């Protein structure tokens, strides 16, 4: 599995485990569901990664 598809799988798994929908993640990031899928497939920027982490409820973890 490639690193990009690993990221997509990880986000989908974490969303399911945390009871978060991909639609709610997209809304939190200010993008459409289609755009979120593109971001997850190609790999997010650092800012997008932080927004996704916030939406999943794991922002700020291990930040000291």
Give the single-character DSSP code of 31.
S
What confidence score (pLDDT) does residue 4 get?
A: 64
Which pLDDT value is given to residue 16?
A: 94
How far apart, in whole angstroms, are the C-alpha atoms of residue 20 and residue 53? 11
Q: Which residue has the tokens 């593109």?
A: 38
pLDDT at residue 62 in the model = 45
> The pTM is what?
0.79
Is the separation of the CB atoms in 34 and 5 below 8 Å?
Answer: no
pLDDT per residue as tens digits for the range 4-18: 678 899 999 999 999
| Ranges of each domain in the chain | 3-56
Please tell me the predicted confidence (pLDDT) of residue 2: 65
Cβ pair 55, 28 in contact under 8 A: yes
Residue 60 is predicted with a pLDDT of: 53
pLDDT for 23 beyond 50:
yes
For residue 4, how many C-alpha atoms fall within 13 Å in the half-sphere facing its CB?
Answer: 9
């Amino acid at each position: 599995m490639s690193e990009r598809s690993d990221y997509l799988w990880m986000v989908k798994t974490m969303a399911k485990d945390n009871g978060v929908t991909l639609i709610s993640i997209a809304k939190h990031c200010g993008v459409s569901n289609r755009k979120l899928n593109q971001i997850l497939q190609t790999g997010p920027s650092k800012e997008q990664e932080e927004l996704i982490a916030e939406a999943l409820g794991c922002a700020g973890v291990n930040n000291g």
